[in-house]
């Protein structure tokens, strides 16, 4: 477990899967996640079974926050596409409980993940892709020190229009355990 003051990251259990199905079938939650079709329990169970073949660094983690004295599961954070030779990894995150957006939880969860990525996994560069309309996400990543790297113009079709996909990244020397 990766433990912060009011946010912690833990492994995902089979019992968590119904939460994921609920969260990822919410159009507001999945809008900026490249997920566009309804998700079934069977698909989610298959996703969970397939995790056994992922390396340890790519195991997704449950984001939990301290809510009235108990740890409440809220969403998911993970490294993807970990490149062992170049020490690069992509970051993915969603908070499935909409009522907890904009309260600093994403920032705290990513800060824990950056510590884990740079100090434990010995990564050199952590990057992410974010849709241009996702200004909440972009602001969160900028706050943490992610830099804008580039823009894939009109690379994704969302809600009837083509939108840009931004690349952002942070290097190990730029991360000093802020937040």
Contact set with ligand COA (CB under 6 A): 29, 32-33, 75, 93-95, 101-107, 128, 130, 134-137, 139-140, 143
Two structure tokens written together for 84: 């062992």
Q: Which residues contact 104 (CB under 8 A, 6 or more apart)?
A: none
CB closer to ligand COA out of 47 and 167: 167
Instruction: Report, in Å, the least distance between residue 64 CB and ligand COA.
Output: 13
- Within 13 Å, how many C-alpha atoms sit on residue 156's CB side? 20
Per the rule left: phi > 0, alpha: psi between -120 and 50, beta: everything else, 70 is: beta
- Asked whether 88 and 123 are in contact (CB, 8 A), the reply is yes
Q: Decide whether 26 or 49 has the Cβ nearer to ligand COA.
A: 26
Percentages helix, strand, coil for the chain (3-state, rounded to 5) are 35, 35, 30
Residue nearest to ligand COA (CB): 106
CB of 131 to ligand COA, least distance (A): 7
Nearer Cβ to ligand COA (38/102): 102
Least distance in angstroms from the C-beta of 91 to ligand COA: 8
Give the integer Cα–Cα distance in Å for 8 and 3: 4
Residue (23 or 118) nearer to ligand COA, CB? 23
CB of 63 to ligand COA, least distance (A): 9
């Amino acid at each position: 477990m990766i433990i912060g003051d009011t946010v912690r990251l833990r492994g995902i259990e089979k019992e968590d899967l119904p939460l994921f199905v609920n969260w990822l079938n919410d159009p507001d939650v999945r809008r900026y996640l490249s997920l566009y079709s309804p998700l079934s329990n069977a698909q989610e169970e298959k996703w969970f079974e397939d995790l056994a073949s992922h390396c340890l660094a790519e195991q997704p983690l449950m984001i939990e926050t301290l809510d009235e004295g108990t740890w409440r599961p809220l969403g998911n954070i993970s490294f993807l596409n970990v490149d062992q030779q170049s020490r690069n990894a992509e970051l993915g995150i969603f908070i499935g409980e909409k009522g907890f957006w904009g309260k600093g939880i994403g920032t705290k969860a990513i800060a824990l993940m950056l510590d884990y990525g740079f100090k434990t996994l010995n990564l050199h560069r952590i990057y992410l892709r974010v849709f241009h309309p996702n200004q909440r996400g972009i602001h969160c990543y900028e706050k943490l020190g992610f830099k804008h790297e580039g823009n894939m113009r009109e690379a994704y079709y969302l809600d009837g229009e083509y939108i840009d996909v931004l690349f952002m990244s942070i290097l190990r020397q730029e991360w000093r355990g802020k937040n």
